[in-house]
Structure 1
Amino acid sequence: MHTWHWQTWQDLPYLTCSLLNSFPHGFFTQQCSPRPPAELIEAVQPQVEVYRVRQVHGNAVLTPTEIDSALQQTTESVPETETVELPPADGLLTERGAQAVWVCTADCVPALIADIKTGQVAAVHAGWRGTAQEIVPQAIARLQQQGSQLEDLRVALGPAIAGEVYQVSTTVAAQVGATVVKEVVADTNADVDRVLDALNQLPDSPLLRDPEPGRARLDVRRVNALQLEQLGLAPEQIAIAPYCTYQHADYFFSYRRDRLKKVQWSGIVSTGD
């Protein structure tokens, strides 16, 4: 069983996961806000390169080289008086050691991925839209292109809104859930109800009942875990934080709870050459 541990930096709490013990990392709390990754990295591993992106709820995954290239092109076309915008993406993966990749979340899933053999890592922002577009498998596909083997990967899914309090439309639930019942979706007649029925039949289903017609409760982290297992990762390669951003108001921002655009950051540092 993977364990999650509270750490402190400057008396501020953040979480780490035993699954990623050999990688400097952290899932930071609202207490650490509004500090950006450039400051938070001091808690994890100082003096490494820090990368983040402009998150857009898609499934693009970028490397530091791609981020730098996009920034260079933007800088050349933007007047000096204007702020240069980060490239749009929702996942980042490293290319060598001493690179830190960061994502921010409020209720969405922060996924930190590490390769225990190559030392490369990825950070992913997986909301329901990104999960419906399989952003975590997308990040893993890019790691595989860099030489990763599935059995060497470790994935920690950090604090996010829990299924029992995450009410969505049945249409959204079906759209996200369709990624893990593809045999049903392959049937051209597969409607929302058929997808939901198939999800209900899964062991430890990510779909929970909701008393309101046309609504469902959806466990997005469980969908991500199922996507990973269907890729070929073993359950012991995956850890899910026992914290809900909506229910643990003392530690985490929740957009669903507060309707405020505030976030917490999660980051991980690559090792090796």
Structure 2
Amino acid sequence: MSPRCRGSLLMWHWQTTELGRFLTCDLLQGFRHGFFTRDWQGQDLSALTAALGATATPLRTQQVHGDRVALAAEVLAWEQPLAADALVATGSNQALWVCSADCVPLLVADVASGRVAAIHAGWRGTAIQISKATLQQMQACGSDLANLRIAMGPAIRGEVYQVGLKVARALAQTILEGITETTDRDDLYQRFAALDPAAVFLDPDPERLRVDVARVNRLQLLQLGLRDEQIALSPHCTFRDAEFFFSYRREPLKQVQWSGIVSRFR
């Protein structure tokens, strides 16, 4: 497994401003982007976009844990945010934003065209493959999978994300054949771990497993045809890194951090 997929600290860098800190990833070099922290609570998206050094129009959706992928042109045409969990740029200098607490924020860049996307992938969105749907939409817009770079930002890590077997099966069904409602925990764990031992962990409760949703997204993207070196996973855990990130599992409050990227069409 490549260092990038282990969430190498060497690829991730803290940026500090007067308003607070945010993370950037080397894989998205050349694109203005950031995975923001709890420091920025109360700041609007214009302030976050400005922190990236951009004068772009900030765009977002109303996230509903679904698999709809919106185009930036659609969002610009409506006064109210569209219900969608991913956003694909349709022009240059568009700042795309998603919010999350424990869910996985994915920022995607096409290094050839400058097209970008932002994805919110909780376990529900991951179970219906929102990341795959977004990349397929980018392909429909003209992107080549070989030119895409994906950075997955801070999210709850598998070691501390306990889920029921129904959820674990739903996630496993996206990357494994033959998983059914009756697949027992041991078989589910062994087959899951065979693909990526860091994607699943045993839990003391025999009716539960611990699953790393970011790594499930990674496996989905690898099966779609991406290469390991096109994907970077943040080493930060929202649940354990309380100084930097909100976590709904840790504190069930409606508090989020934002992740955004700016398009640069050529």
Partner residue of 1:162 out of 157, 167, 189 = 157
Q: Give the total of aligned pairs.
A: 256
Partner of 2:7: none
Which letter does structure 1 place at the counterpart of 2:99? C
User: What is the distance in 1 between the residues matched to 2:141 and 2:17?
Assistant: 33
Runs of at least 5 residues in structure 2 that lack an aligned partner in the other structure: 5-10
Q: How far apart are 1:120 and its partner, in Å?
A: 0.3
Partner of 2:174, secondary structure, is: helix
Partner residue of 2:121 out of 115, 123, 126 = 126
Partner of 1:223, secondary structure, is: helix
Confirm or deny that 1:199 pairs with 2:196: no
Which letter does structure 2 place at the counterpart of 1:67? V
CA deviation string 1:129-156 (max 9, x = no partner): 0000100010000000011111100000
Moved over 3 A (4+): 194-197
CA deviation string 1:54-87 (max 9, x = no partner): 1000011101211233x25xxxxxxxxxxxx421
Confirm or deny that 1:220 pairs with 2:213: yes
User: What is the distance in 2 between the residues matched to 1:192 and 1:10?
Assistant: 52
Partner residue of 1:66 out of 66, 71, 74 = 74
Q: TM-score, normalised by structure 2?
A: 0.92
Partner residue of 2:60 out of 32, 52, 56 = 52
More displaced 10-residue stretch of structure 1: 124-133 or 27-36:
27-36
User: What is the distance in 2 between the residues matched to 1:238 and 1:90?
Assistant: 20
More displaced 10-residue stretch of structure 1: 123-132 or 31-40:
31-40
Partner residue of 2:18 out of 7, 10, 14 = 10
CA deviation string 1:15-52 (max 9, x = no partner): 00000011000000001112121221011133211110
User: What is the distance in 1 between the residues matched to 2:61 and 2:133?
Assistant: 16
Which letter does structure 2 place at the counterpart of 1:192? T
CA contact (8 A) 2:169 2:188 kept: yes
Runs of at least 5 residues in structure 1 that lack an aligned partner in the other structure: 73-84
Highest Rg: 1 or 2? 1
Alpha-carbon RMSD across the aligned residues, in angstroms, is: 1.4
Partner of 2:245: 252
Confirm or deny that 1:239 pairs with 2:232: yes
User: What is the distance in 2 between the residues matched to 1:58 and 1:124?
Assistant: 11
Partner of 2:245, secondary structure, is: coil
Partner of 1:142: 137
Q: How far apart are 1:205 and its partner, in Å?
A: 4.8
Which letter does structure 1 place at the counterpart of 2:148? L
Partner of 1:270: 263
Partner of 2:167, secondary structure, is: helix
Partner of 2:37: 29
CA contact (8 A) 1:208 1:218 kept: yes
Partner of 1:111, secondary structure, is: strand
